[in-house]
Each structure stands twice: as structure tokens, then as C-alpha cells.
């Protein structure tokens, strides 16, 4: 009896509740506000979502990561046969297989990441409605997961360059800025689509068609020189056009960079990212209610 009484006396007493809440979650009052410190505080969740996307994508697959390189590789072989051999599409003085793969490398990243990030918030509805975190992490993590696939596919391109004895020049130093520009464009587009997709589910159905049309409007399987000069300004309104041409110039050094086109792509990508952040910020306060 004495033991039980002493144990009760030694047990800690319940602590009184604080007079004021420790954490207050409320919508921002400004038109544009992105708390970068809040995003940085949840960086571990960002890494976890990337890892989750990678595991889900290749779960219960027989050949696993081989699917990463199989899609652009098979498309490259198909385009080489149809457009390189049968149609005789020019390839700017390099083997058409290298020409096509250098275009498919950034395009596959953009198309896959844009589709994944565009549907990311809707697909993560259980997480969005139950746990607080900066919602912008969700589409950003989808882009980060596809970046891993991009790096693996780039190794295949490096092996192809060795096979065809293509030596890189100093222009390859432009490759990291081009990859960064590609990521900015993809993140901006994916974030914008993901916010709109929560409210208007038609976007999910229209997105594959939009990306397919965008593919033929980009110089993936044909060079920019094949476009009549009077129409090139229209093609360059597509930011992916100058990015793809920049990839080929950086990798093979056969042509000079189109600096006005790259400058235009940079401006369009940054404006798109800014518009996406503002739109996402204004709409995310209602995600949990309508998702």
C-alpha cells in the first residue's frame, strides 16, 4: 500500500496549458508571400517525397531503373529509322541518333516532370488534407524525382558520344546553366498546372494532349534550320526550342549558341515561375477544402 501511494506521489503532475498557442497556422495576408525559411525547415519531407516517388514508380517492376533509359532509347531508334533514314531529316552534321537523343533528353525530363508535378497535389490529397507543410514541396519533389531519371539517361548519352567518338568542347560548360533553366521552366509549368488542377479537373485530361502538341512544336526530331526563317520567331516563343538547341550546341559544339533565343527562354521561364508561385500561393489555402 505504501509503495502504491509513493508511486502516485512521485508521478509527474499534468502541466498547465500555455496562455497563448505555440504555433498559429493562418493564410498569409499579403498578395505574394513565400516563406523560404518554412520551406527549408521541411527539407527532409522534400527528400522523403522524392524517395517515395522513385519507389512507387518502380515498385514491383521486373527491370526497374532500366525503364528510365528504355523510353528515350526506343524513341531515338524509332525516330532514327523514320526521320533519319526514310525521311532524310538533316541533323546538323552529327549522326541522327545523337541528334535525336540530345533532343529527347531534355524533352523527356520536361514532359515526365510536368505531368508528374501537374498531378502531384491531387495525387497527394491524403497528405495535403491531414498534415501541415508548405504545399509547394509537393510539385517540387515530383520534379526532383524525375531529375534522378534525367541523370541516368545522361549517362547513356555519354556512352553514345564515346561510341561515335564525339569529343566535347568548351561549350559543354554551358550544360549546367541549361539544366538549371530547364528545371526552372519545368517547375514553373508544373506548379501552375498543379494548382489549377485542384479546382479544375479537366486539366488532368487535357495535359497529355497539350504536352503532345508541345512536342511537335519543339525541335526534338528536326533542327531549327529546317524551319523557314520567317517563322523561326514564332517557334522561339516556345522556351523549350532554344533550350533543346542549346543542349545540342553544348554537347557537340557543332553550332554557336543562340543567345537571343536563350535570353528569351530565360525571361519566359522566370516569368512563368513567378506567375506559378503567385497562383499557387493564392489557391493553396483552399486545397484542403476542394481537393
Q: Which of 55-59, 63-67, 117-121, 227-231 shows the lowest per-residue confidence on average (mean pLDDT)?
A: 63-67
For CA atoms 67, 71, 72, 77, the dihedral sign is positive
Summarize the confidence of residues 14-34 as an average pLDDT. Answer: 56
Total domains in the fold of the chain: 1
Q: What is the pLDDT of residues 45-67, one digit of tens each?
A: 889 999 988 888 777 676 767 78
Is 3 domain-assigned?
Answer: no
What pLDDT, on a 0 to 100 scale, did the predictor assign at position 33?
A: 52
Q: Cα separation of 66 and 9, whole Å? A: 64
Higher-pLDDT residue of 53, 180: 180
* pLDDT above 50: residue 5: no
Is 7 domain-assigned?
Answer: no
Contact 279, 192 (CB under 8 A): yes
Query: Looking at residue 42, what DSSP letter applies?
Result: T
pTM attached to this predicted model: 0.85
Residue 278 burial by Cβ neighbours in a 10 Å radius (0-12, 13-18, 19+):
middle
What pLDDT, on a 0 to 100 scale, did the predictor assign at position 39?
A: 77
Q: Which of 227, 251, 259 is closest to 99 using CA atoms?
A: 251
Is 74 domain-assigned?
Answer: yes
Contact 231, 221 (CB under 8 A): no
Q: Which three cell numbers stand for residue 271?
A: 516569368
Q: At what angle do helices 175-199 and 259-283 cross, to 10 degrees?
A: 30
Query: Looking at residue 84, what DSSP letter applies?
Result: I
Is 40 domain-assigned?
Answer: no
Contact 155, 230 (CB under 8 A): no
Domain that holds residue 244: 54-290
What pLDDT, on a 0 to 100 scale, did the predictor assign at position 10?
A: 52
Q: Which of 212, 209, 266 is closest to 239 using CA atoms?
A: 266
Is 264 domain-assigned?
Answer: yes
Query: Looking at residue 120, what DSSP letter applies?
Result: H
Higher-pLDDT residue of 9, 182: 182
The pair phi, psi for residue 66, each rounded to 5°, is -60, -25
Is 233 domain-assigned?
Answer: yes
24: left (phi over 0), alpha (psi -120 to 50) or beta: beta
Tell me how far apart the terminal alpha carbons of the chain are, to the nearest angstrom: 57
Mean pLDDT of the chain: 86
Is 60 domain-assigned?
Answer: yes
Summarize the confidence of residues 191-206 as an average pLDDT. Answer: 91
Q: Cα separation of 80 and 90, whole Å? A: 11
Is 168 domain-assigned?
Answer: yes
List the alpha helices (DSSP H) in the chain: 2-10, 36-41, 43-57, 66-79, 96-118, 120-123, 125-130, 137-163, 175-199, 202-216, 232-235, 239-252, 259-283, 287-290
| Most confident residue range from 50-54, 73-77, 264-268, 278-282 | 264-268
Amino acid at each position: 500500500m505504501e509503495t502504491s501511494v509513493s508511486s502516485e506521489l512521485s508521478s509527474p503532475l499534468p502541466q498547465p496549458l500555455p496562455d497563448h498557442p505555440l504555433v498559429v497556422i493562418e493564410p498569409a495576408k499579403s498578395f505574394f508571400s513565400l516563406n523560404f525559411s518554412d520551406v527549408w525547415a521541411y527539407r527532409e519531407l522534400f527528400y522523403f517525397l522524392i524517395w517515395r516517388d522513385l519507389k512507387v514508380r518502380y515498385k514491383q517492376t521486373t527491370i526497374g531503373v532500366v525503364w528510365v533509359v528504355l523510353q528515350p532509347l526506343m524513341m531515338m531508334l524509332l525516330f532514327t529509322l523514320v526521320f533519319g533514314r526514310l525521311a532524310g531529316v538533316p541533323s546538323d552534321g552529327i549522326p541522327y541518333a545523337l541528334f535525336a537523343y540530345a533532343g529527347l533528353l531534355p524533352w523527356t525530363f520536361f514532359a515526365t516532370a510536368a505531368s508528374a508535378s501537374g498531378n502531384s497535389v491531387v495525387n497527394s490529397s491524403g497528405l495535403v488534407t491531414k498534415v501541415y507543410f508548405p504545399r509547394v514541396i509537393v510539385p517540387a519533389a515530383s520534379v526532383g524525382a524525375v531529375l534522378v531519371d534525367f541523370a541516368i539517361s545522361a549517362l547513356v548519352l555519354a556512352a553514345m558520344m564515346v561510341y561515335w567518338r564525339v569529343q566535347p568542347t568548351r561549350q559543354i560548360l554551358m550544360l549546367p546553366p541549361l539544366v538549371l533553366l530547364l528545371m526552372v521552366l519545368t517547375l514553373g509549368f508544373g506548379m501552375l498546372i498543379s494548382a489549377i488542377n485542384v479546382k479544375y479537373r479537366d486539366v488532368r485530361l487535357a495535359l497529355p494532349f497539350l504536352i503532345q502538341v508541345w512536342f511537335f512544336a519543339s525541335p526534338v526530331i528536326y533542327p531549327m534550320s529546317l524551319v523557314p526563317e520567317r517563322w523561326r520567331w514564332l517557334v522561339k516563343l516556345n522556351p523549350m526550342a532554344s533550350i533543346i538547341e542549346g543542349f545540342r550546341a553544348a554537347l557537340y559544339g557543332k553550332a554557336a549558341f543562340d543567345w537571343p533565343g536563350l535570353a528569351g527562354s530565360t525571361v519566359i521561364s522566370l516569368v512563368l515561375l513567378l506567375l506559378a508561385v503567385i497562383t499557387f500561393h493564392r489557391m493553396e489555402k483552399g486545397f484542403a477544402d476542394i481537393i
